[in-house]
Chains A and B, each alone.
Chain A
Amino acid sequence: MAEVEETLKRIQSHKGVIGTMVVNAEGIPIRTTLDNSTTVQYAGLLHQLTMKARSTVRDIDPQNDLTFLRIRSKKHEIMVAPDKEYLLIVIQNPCE
């Protein structure tokens, strides 16, 4: 349990990271560093997007699977690391 916190803390301490959250397979947040409403919004939307991305990849090639999803926008970059049961979402502002 301390490991979990430690890992999350480590990720959060990177330069430019705005927020980190862990979401379960249904899109319900488990751990987060942002406020509740933002977390819930991100979790819901990104969960759906990840499902869609995964299904896309698997439709093209059933042997393939989604490993990482990065969305770059004007203001920041959203990184999603999917898993069978969980989803790790990190939001970073890459520009100096």
Chain B
Amino acid sequence: MASKSQKQKISSGGKVSKRGKNKPTISVNEEEEPINMESLGHPEIYPLVLTTKTQEIFNCRIDEDITDEQPYKLIKKEDIFADFQNRAAVSDFYPLKKIIQEYPGDELLIVYDKDFRYGLNFYLIGTEEGKENYLNPPEVPEEQEEYKEHVPEDTYIYTPPVSKPWVSLGSEKEIEEESVKEFTKQITYMISRKRSQFGAPIKFSDQNASSVKDAYIECTAYPDKNFTVKQLEKDVGMQVVPKVKDTSTQTRWTYPKNATTQYCPREFSEEEKETLGQSKSLTDFLNNASISVEIALQQNEIMNTFIDDWKYLAEEEGTFGDKTDTHLKEYQSFTDLHNLTEKMITCVSWHPVIYGLIAVSVAVRLSFEDRVHFSGKLLLQPSLILFWSFSDPIHPQLMLESPEDIFCFKFCPSDPNIIAGGCINGQIVMWDITAHADRIENIKTGGGRSKKVTLKPMFLLEPESNKEAMYIRHCAVSSIENGHRNVITDIHWLSDTFEINRMGSVFENRSGICCQLVTCSADCTICFWDIRPQKPSAPQPTEKKKEESIEIPFDIPSTFLHLDLSWKPLARIRLSKGETSLDHCPTKLSLSEDHLPYKAQDKMLAQNKVMEVGEMNPYQNLEGGLANHLKPIEDFCTKFFVGTEEGEVIYTDWKMERDPETGRLMTKKPVSLYTVHDGAVHTIQRSPFYNDIILTIGGWNVAIWKEGVMTGPLLQSSCAPKRYTSGHWSLTRPGVFYIGREDGYIDIWDLLEKTHEPAQSQNICTTTITCIKPWTFSAKQQFIAIADYYGTLHILEIPWTLSHPSTNEVSSMNHYFEREVKHLEYVEQRKKIREQEKKQMELETEKKKVKTYQKSKELLEAELKMDYESYLELEKTVLINLGLIKVAEKVSYMDMM
């Protein structure tokens, strides 16, 4: 490029210039952005593109302002700056802005580059000097001027080049190699011929090559053994290719049709069966076949050959914990430290859904006279149901207030936020804790507790230290005049599958929730209550006014507002012994449908129900009573067990009947009544495994009954050394139940181990145990809550052996009960047999007496004679033996006789 441009310069300039290397000369501009022709040796020349617009602005239009004679234009610097301001980056001069700014002079020279010598159509000369040189080109061309400094001579003398000796640089070798030379000597042939033969006429003819000898020489191929190689190995490639064949068929397409087939088995008609049945072939066949079949049947009866003895030898798959450990382990205990009066726990109930939450009802430990005496003081203290949680042993989570001491309470099975309790004065109290449900649901261990949980002395304890203990007022109480008159001893929710009406008839419960309660009280009545609003029977304006004036605090839910103070029982059953004597005083009930609820599946159901019902709590919108058009369920078992204070177990019916004479509703007479206990019956409970096995505990002994067996209890224990005060079936083992005594011991009975005495006895506390409630949380964790007379609730953990049933425990217990039933039957039968025997014996003795009397005198004489004769003979023999009489004489004597 450089040389070309040199040539250009030379041609244009017309003079030869000696060139050295381009020295990076002078100006700083060379390093700047704008491209200049430094490479071409003109650092002051900056090529430039001027668009037609720019040309118009600056009046340097091609062929108009700028011609060949005057191919340049002087432009003022100010104009360019104005252009910059006007057009900014669009301006064509923008790339050379810097140069223009630094330009010393006022006017810049723009030269039209027609030949595009410098690449673009215009170029700017960036220095004054350059401008001067261009405008006023000196006689000597520009290139010369540059090098004037270096070459001080004025003229240039031509010296012809002097030839120098050639220096070999190795190129001749290559040339030699590449050149073609003759190696071999060329062969020369000289061919001569007689001159006369030249030019003779030539005649061409055809000739077969094979016919003339030596006309041709051939070199035939022959097999040469030297060159034959026997191929011993041959590499052959093979490929197996499946033979693919493309075929196609076509079926006739019809529209899809639905087709069904239905078949019924072939059967014989009755006559055919008869005829076949009587045919001889069948008889023969059966005779032959039945032999083998009976052998097989008997084999099965004798022994089950397929059982795995090894597997059945072991009791459990794996034990959790020590197998020998059979003691109940203390887990936690709760005492209410805030209240100063001495209280006892009357009833305990585990929360059916939430883990670790247990509710206790406390009552003051005073006798009736003391209650009357201190009634003023008692009014000031609220009666409470406390909710304890495992996470906080000091502060109860919730406290439910009630007007009087509660003696029994139950969670509603369909909604654990509804609680019904029975008071000492005969009222039923209802609570609805739905609003506080989240409080107790989110109890976590350690959450919300202060770091130091030390027992402070009582005067320092503040109930609001960690959490505000909530006092929740009751929602509704029953009517005082129409309810019970004495303490309510037992309360149950009726199952949500049925409901009853005033007559005691059973109807299907369409509402799906538990809506009826049954209570028994010491005023000798059993009442059924319905929590739904009753249809108003008669308007009572005065009472309404009274109710309206009572202001209900705003934080009480209005679930049971319709019941408050006006709640009347639906039906009332009076347990009367007869016309004259006192009535029975019921202490506990056990209904047939009243399973021990809250087994694992039921818990799930309850949870699901609670969750579904989240939005629409059915208890918030209780609709009125029974639909009278529903037909009563016919064969529902309406009988139930009642335990009384005298120790009797009554099996009676709740269905009322109409007295034929008076037309009033009357309760039926009890089906059966047994007095087995020496004291008040405090526990009647159905076994969680068998619906018809009932455990009754009272006084000093225990009895187990089977519903339907009228002759007596299946098992009746002997008198225990200490009075029994509470009891409960075990929830997981069918043969185990727990009994609490009045000295603080708990007796654990295991019917599979011993039936005459408890299997174990363990001390829990120092005072009477008032309530026992076991609960299962998981397969591995089972707790038992034991409440005592001094107000302490003990939670103990049930060990593995007591909670985990052995493999066939249920069937063993079943057998045991069946055996006992059979035993009872046998006893009955024996009774009869004994009676018969007794009768027979009496008859015989009678006969004997008669016989002796009828012996007559003749017989007596004959007997006397016989005796005398035998005596004579005896005398004779004795005398003969003594030798006093000779034998002969005897003979002659005999002859003479």
List of B residues within 8 angstroms of A67 by Cβ: 292
List of A residues within 8 angstroms of B281 by Cβ: 85-86
Interface residues of B in 238-291 (CB under 8 A from A): 265-268, 273, 276-278, 281-283, 285-290
- Tell me if A81 counts as interface (CB < 8 A to partner B): yes
- Most-contacted residue by chain A among B276, B282, B298, B304 (CB, 10 A): B282
Determine the distance from Cα of A27 to Cα of B265 in the docked complex, in whole angstroms. 9
B285 touches A88 (CB 8 A): yes
B267 touches A28 (CB 8 A): yes
In the complex, how many angstroms separate the beta carbon of A93 from the nearest chain B beta carbon? 9
Contact of A16 among B277, B290, B294, B301 (CB under 8 A): B301
A1 touches B277 (CB 8 A): yes
In the complex, how many angstroms separate the beta carbon of B382 from the nearest chain A beta carbon? 60
Interface residues of A in 52-96 (CB under 8 A from B): 67-68, 70, 72, 77, 79, 81, 83, 85-86, 88, 90, 92, 94-96
List of B residues within 8 angstroms of A36 by Cβ: 267
Determine the distance from Cα of A72 to Cα of B296 in the docked complex, in whole angstroms. 12
B265 touches A44 (CB 8 A): yes
A11 touches B273 (CB 8 A): no
Determine the distance from Cα of A72 to Cα of B299 in the docked complex, in whole angstroms. 13
A88 touches B300 (CB 8 A): no
A4 touches B289 (CB 8 A): no
- Which size bracket describes the interface of A in this complex? 35 or more
List of B residues within 8 angstroms of A90 by Cβ: 293, 296-297
- Tell me if A22 counts as interface (CB < 8 A to partner B): yes
Determine the distance from Cα of A24 to Cα of B300 in the docked complex, in whole angstroms. 26
Tell me if B's interface is mostly helix, strand, loop or mixed: helix
Contact of A88 among B266, B268, B293 (CB under 8 A): B293
B292 touches A16 (CB 8 A): no
In the complex, how many angstroms separate the beta carbon of B401 from the nearest chain A beta carbon? 57
Determine the distance from Cα of A15 to Cα of B303 in the docked complex, in whole angstroms. 12
A8 touches B286 (CB 8 A): yes
Nearest B residue (CB) for A20: B293
A28 touches B268 (CB 8 A): yes
B301 touches A15 (CB 8 A): yes
In the complex, how many angstroms separate the beta carbon of A15 from the nearest chain B beta carbon? 5
Nearest B residue (CB) for A41: B265
List of B residues within 8 angstroms of A70 by Cβ: 296
- Most-contacted residue by chain B among A16, A83, A96 (CB, 10 A): A83
Question: 1/0 contact trace for A1-42 toward B, CB 8 Å?
Answer: 101100110110011110000101011111100001000100
A14-B294, A79-B296 known; A7-B287 Cβ under 8 A: yes
A31 touches B297 (CB 8 A): no
Determine the distance from Cα of A3 to Cα of B268 in the docked complex, in whole angstroms. 21
A86 touches B265 (CB 8 A): no
In the complex, how many angstroms separate the beta carbon of B862 from the nearest chain A beta carbon? 63
Contact of B277 among A4, A68, A72, A77 (CB under 8 A): A4
Nearest A residue (CB) for B303: A94
List of A residues within 8 angstroms of B287 by Cβ: 3, 7
B285 touches A86 (CB 8 A): yes
List of B residues within 8 angstroms of A85 by Cβ: 281, 285
Contact of B289 among A1, A40, A44, A88 (CB under 8 A): A88
A14-B301, A88-B293 known; A31-B273 Cβ under 8 A: yes
In the complex, how many angstroms separate the beta carbon of B435 from the nearest chain A beta carbon? 52
A4-B277, A30-B282, A86-B282 known; A94-B301 Cβ under 8 A: yes
B267 touches A29 (CB 8 A): yes
In the complex, how many angstroms separate the beta carbon of A39 from the nearest chain B beta carbon? 9
Across chains A and B, the number of contacting residue pairs, with CB separation under 8 Å, is 91
Determine the distance from Cα of A13 to Cα of B316 in the docked complex, in whole angstroms. 36
Question: 1/0 contact trace for B151-168 toward A, CB 8 Å?
Answer: 000000000000000000
A11 touches B292 (CB 8 A): no
List of A residues within 8 angstroms of B289 by Cβ: 81, 83, 86, 88
A81 touches B293 (CB 8 A): yes
List of A residues within 8 angstroms of B282 by Cβ: 4, 22, 30, 86
In the complex, how many angstroms separate the beta carbon of B280 from the nearest chain A beta carbon? 10
List of A residues within 8 angstroms of B276 by Cβ: 24, 30
- Tell me if B306 counts as interface (CB < 8 A to partner A): yes
B283 touches A3 (CB 8 A): yes
Nearest B residue (CB) for A26: B266
B300 touches A94 (CB 8 A): yes
Determine the distance from Cα of A3 to Cα of B279 in the docked complex, in whole angstroms. 11
List of B residues within 8 angstroms of A4 by Cβ: 277-278, 282-283, 286
List of B residues within 8 angstroms of A79 by Cβ: 293, 296-297
List of A residues within 8 angstroms of B273 by Cβ: 30-31
A31-B273, A92-B300 known; A11-B290 Cβ under 8 A: yes
List of B residues within 8 angstroms of A81 by Cβ: 289-290, 292-293
List of A residues within 8 angstroms of B301 by Cβ: 14-16, 94
Determine the distance from Cα of A86 to Cα of B282 in the docked complex, in whole angstroms. 7
In the complex, how many angstroms separate the beta carbon of A66 from the nearest chain B beta carbon? 12
A7 touches B290 (CB 8 A): yes
Determine the distance from Cα of A30 to Cα of B301 in the docked complex, in whole angstroms. 27
B266 touches A28 (CB 8 A): yes
B306 touches A14 (CB 8 A): no
In the complex, how many angstroms separate the beta carbon of A49 from the nearest chain B beta carbon? 16
In the complex, how many angstroms separate the beta carbon of B298 from the nearest chain A beta carbon? 8
B297 touches A14 (CB 8 A): yes
Determine the distance from Cα of A1 to Cα of B276 in the docked complex, in whole angstroms. 9
Determine the distance from Cα of A15 to Cα of B267 in the docked complex, in whole angstroms. 29
Interface residues of B in 551-589 (CB under 8 A from A): none
- Most-contacted residue by chain A among B294, B296, B304 (CB, 10 A): B296
In the complex, how many angstroms separate the beta carbon of A26 from the nearest chain B beta carbon? 7
In the complex, how many angstroms separate the beta carbon of B191 from the nearest chain A beta carbon? 104
Determine the distance from Cα of A90 to Cα of B291 in the docked complex, in whole angstroms. 13
Interface residues of B in 287-344 (CB under 8 A from A): 287-290, 292-294, 296-298, 300-301, 304, 306
A28-B267, A30-B277, A81-B292 known; A17-B297 Cβ under 8 A: yes
Determine the distance from Cα of A3 to Cα of B300 in the docked complex, in whole angstroms. 25
List of B residues within 8 angstroms of A72 by Cβ: 306
List of B residues within 8 angstroms of A10 by Cβ: 290, 294
In the complex, how many angstroms separate the beta carbon of B282 from the nearest chain A beta carbon? 6
B268 touches A30 (CB 8 A): yes
Determine the distance from Cα of A10 to Cα of B277 in the docked complex, in whole angstroms. 16
Contact of B296 among A1, A22, A29, A68 (CB under 8 A): A68
In the complex, how many angstroms separate the beta carbon of B188 from the nearest chain A beta carbon? 104
Nearest A residue (CB) for B272: A30
Determine the distance from Cα of A81 to Cα of B296 in the docked complex, in whole angstroms. 10
A31-B273, A67-B292, A86-B285 known; A11-B267 Cβ under 8 A: no
Nearest B residue (CB) for A96: B304
Nearest A residue (CB) for B294: A11
Nearest A residue (CB) for B298: A14
List of A residues within 8 angstroms of B306 by Cβ: 72
Nearest A residue (CB) for B297: A14
In the complex, how many angstroms separate the beta carbon of A13 from the nearest chain B beta carbon? 10
Known contacts A79-B297, A94-B301; 16 additional CB pairs below 8 A are A3-B283, A4-B286, A16-B301, A24-B268, A28-B265, A28-B268, A29-B267, A30-B276, A67-B292, A77-B300, A85-B281, A86-B285, A88-B286, A88-B289, A92-B297, A96-B304
**8 nearest CB pairs, A to B:** A81-B289, A94-B300, A1-B278, A40-B265, A88-B289, A14-B297, A86-B285, A83-B285
Interface residues of B (CB under 8 A from A): 265-268, 273, 276-278, 281-283, 285-290, 292-294, 296-298, 300-301, 304, 306
Pairs across A and B, CB under 8 Å, 20 listed: A1-B277, A4-B282, A4-B286, A10-B294, A11-B290, A14-B301, A15-B297, A22-B286, A29-B267, A29-B268, A30-B276, A40-B267, A44-B265, A72-B306, A79-B296, A83-B289, A85-B281, A85-B285, A86-B285, A94-B301
